[in-house]
Amino acid sequence: QSVLTQPPSASGTPGQRVTISCSGSSSNIGSNTVNWYQQLPGTAPKLLIYNDNQRPSGVPDRFSGSKSGTSASLAISGLQSEDEADYYCAAWDDSLNGAVFGGGTQVTVL
Amino acid sequence: EVQLVESGGGLVQPGGSLRLSCTVSGFIFSTYETNWVRQAPGKGLEWVSYISGSGSTIYYADSVKGRFTISKDNAKNSLYLQMNSLRAEDTAVYYCARSVGNSFYYYSIDVWGKGTAVTVSS
């Protein structure tokens, strides 16, 4: 059971917009910034969004992040086949004194 | 180029020990925080442990506390994870990962290694 809650799956057709939710609590998302990671099959995770809504250099602006209270969201607009991957949210948890991850959301491009 | 390369994984019996290493390059290791994060087969990511740049601050997940020890040698640009009393549920790919942020408010893992596989089985 992950500390942060994500839907296990999401899907869309090419060009559509897909949104992934991430629910936490006052000790993690409510207190600290949220990060999102993309993990393509058989590879290590890659930082997609940091500080709730910032994109590292090289990440397409089709990916965007937002946060409100103890929940966060990742949006993928203009969905492409190469976006098929697992997506994880994460944040530091002040009560646990450790990082916490969501269970991951598998995105499928139909 | 920033790189983190893990080694030391393998097959170990339940109750056994293993030491993972991570050699880093492309950045000043002593000024960055590093972590171990693991992923069991077919499962999600689980943070395991954190160590500050100087090594003075260390945290562990409850699932490994008392069994795993994180350490670093800044002179050798190396991070370690000593794993004792291993259990079947410790079977996973273990990633070495650099984190950034002036405080835990901004905590973010920005670079990951490719991982090393650990299998605990008799």
Inter-chain residue contact B113 with A44, CB threshold 8 Å: yes
The span from the CA of B11 to the CA of A97, in Å, is 30
Looking at chain B, the whole-number percentage of residues with pLDDT higher than 90 is: 96
Is-contact B18 B10, C-beta < 8 A? yes
Inter-chain residue contact A90 with B105, CB threshold 8 Å: no
Looking at chain A, the whole-number percentage of residues with pLDDT higher than 70 is: 100
Q: What is the pLDDT of residue B103?
A: 87
Mean pLDDT of A72-80: 97
- Residues 6 or more apart whose CB falls under 8 angstroms from that of A68 comprise none
The span from the CA of B28 to the CA of B50, in Å, is 17
Mean pLDDT of B103-109: 92
The answer on pLDDT for B102 being more than 80 is no
Phi and psi torsions of A32, nearest 5°: -135, 165
Chain B residues whose CB is inside 8 A of the A101 CB are 44-47
Measured between CB atoms, does B105 come within 8 Å of chain A? Answer: yes
Tokens of A100: 């916490």
Average pLDDT, chain A: 97
The span from the CA of A8 to the CA of B114, in Å, is 24
Measured between CB atoms, does A33 come within 8 Å of chain B? Answer: yes
Chain A residues whose CB is inside 8 A of the B110 CB are 47, 50, 56
Is-contact A65 A73, C-beta < 8 A? yes
Measured between CB atoms, does A81 come within 8 Å of chain B? Answer: no
Q: What is the pLDDT of residue B101?
A: 84
The span from the CA of A23 to the CA of B22, in Å, is 32
Q: What is the pLDDT of residue A1?
A: 86
